[in-house]
Copies of this chain bind each other. A is one copy, B any other.
Amino acid sequence: MMQKPSNARGTRDFGPKEMVKRNYVFSIIKKHFERFGFQNIETPSIENLSTLMGKYGDEGDQLLFKILNSGDFLKEISPKDIEFGFKNFSQKIVEKGLRYDLTVPFARFVSMNRSELAFPFKRYQIQPVWRADRPQKGRYREFYQCDADIVGSDSLINEAELISLFQSIFSELNLKAQLLINSRKVLTGIVEALGMIDKFTSFAVALDKLDKVGWNVVQNELLEQGFEIDKLNKLKIIIEFEGTNDQKVINLRTFLSQSEIGLAGLKEIEDVLSFSADQSNLVFDVKLARGLSYYTGLIFEGKAVDLAFGSIAGGGRYDNLTSSFGLPNMSGVGISFGIERIIDVLDTLNLLPSVDSNACQVLFTYFDLEGQLKCLSLANSLRSNGISCEVYPDITKIKKSFEYADKKGIRFVAVIGSEEIKSGLISLKDMSSGTQEELKWTELVQRLS
């Protein structure tokens, strides 16, 4: 039976210290979600494969974790079935998979519960997802996602509210963050202005790499696709222009003057900007493309200002998310916070608490059975006053209990000896300052509140 235990590849345990940090970030995000009127839902980890397959492209389908059917899964299988390859074979022995993101289960949920929900429906969801990716630094097979979406309204007020949400979360987390915004419609307008409307996808893919590879590489790629050099030169000027959001809008208005959809997208950008009182960390970035094909309107992406760590949030407007579950024409807009990366960024910048605000404040310790009994009773009276505390379980050398308090970060150690029992007192040592005082039992709650 003896074995050297290990975690499954690409998965992590979170001990008490990491959980303090994680819970701190989760609770701030959750608080702001609720402050903006988003309601919590949870969907199961296990979904029917029919819900998941075909929603994330071929690569996504391959990265789904699939759950073996229970019982005798070979009952209807003949040895010959193996010869048709693992993809065909897996369809015979697997019906369920693990959630790959929170968006598809949300779309399924909305579609199934459409008659009971109050629309526009604003939901948030914070749960783990699983991907059979090759594990590497910062990339895990099990990680949390953290999404807020509004479906059933095409008003740009929703986009504006998501921007405010982004700003208030990072403001409370003390992380300087920037939100880049763009519009799929503006991008479509640009491709139209370039006279290459049927090359939208190649254009978006090329543009998405601009920050990494530089303009020359992107330009060569586009020239190969048949884009015209003089038009690309005009685009280069617009993309490289550094100015205020309003100036960028003015530049683009000329470039897009012949594109109806481009101008409509630009109007949306203008409107959303006008709704945002604080534009100090809001950047209209015409380079922003975002990979996901389901976006149809405004798109956004958050970045940390002081660290090149990649995106810490992303989202946009979509129009057809629920249509594959039989509910067409349900426009929505959402933002997903890259919670695992946010935790890494905050940790790197030393912006996470090392001490749990809910942590134990007092350790009771004693020399004899009488002291033990008194400690148990004092501990319970502290707790009923909302003060966290614990009773050291053994009559031991007092040093050992002090070491325990120190290791666990407990601030006060309360000691009851036989003298204290007689006089109704308790000795309270503050581990952070080293000071010690004698208190009446009845004074303890007040001293620690």
Contact = CB atoms under 8 A, between A and B. Distances in A.
Given A3-B50, A3-B325, A113-B15, A36 B68 contact: no
A16 B106 CA distance: 12
Nearest to A403: B118
Interface string A27-53: 000011011110111111111101100
B46 A74 contact: no
Contacts of A41: 13-16, 19
A109 B44 contact: no
A425 B118 CA distance: 29
Contacts of A77: 82
Given A3-B324, A79-B83, A393 B157 contact: yes
A70 interface: yes
B118 A404 contact: yes
Interface string A77-92: 1111011011001100
Contacts of A108: 5
Contacts of A392: 157
A128 interface: yes
Interface string A368-389: 0000110011011001101111
A20 to B, nearest CB: 8
Interface stretch (A158-166, A210-218, A285-293, A346-354): A158-166
Contacts of A377: 277
Contacts of A63: 70
- Interface size class for chain A? 35 or more
Nearest to A372: B157
Contacts of A79: 79-80, 82-83
B68 A90 contact: yes
Nearest to A42: B14
A44 B89 CA distance: 28
Contacts of A407: 118
B120 A393 contact: yes
Interface in A60-119: 62-63, 65-68, 70-75, 77-80, 82-83, 85-86, 89-90, 93-96, 98, 108-109, 111-113, 116-118
B45 A45 contact: yes
Interface string A260-299: 0000000000000011010000000000000000000000
Query: Which of A7, A359, A383: most chain B CB closer than 10 A?
Result: A7
A32 to B, nearest CB: 8
Interface of A: 1-8, 11-16, 19-20, 22-23, 31-32, 34-37, 39-48, 50-51, 54, 62-63, 65-68, 70-75, 77-80, 82-83, 85-86, 89-90, 93-96, 98, 108-109, 111-113, 116-118, 120, 122-123, 128, 130, 132, 141-142, 150, 153, 155, 157-158, 160-161, 164, 168, 274-275, 277, 324-326, 356, 358-360, 363, 372-373, 376-377, 379-380, 383-384, 386-394, 404, 407-408, 410
26 contacts: A3-B50, A5-B51, A5-B325, A8-B47, A8-B48, A11-B45, A12-B44, A15-B116, A23-B40, A35-B387, A35-B388, A35-B389, A36-B388, A36-B390, A37-B363, A45-B128, A62-B70, A66-B68, A68-B94, A82-B82, A155-B393, A155-B394, A157-B392, A157-B394, A161-B390, A277-B376
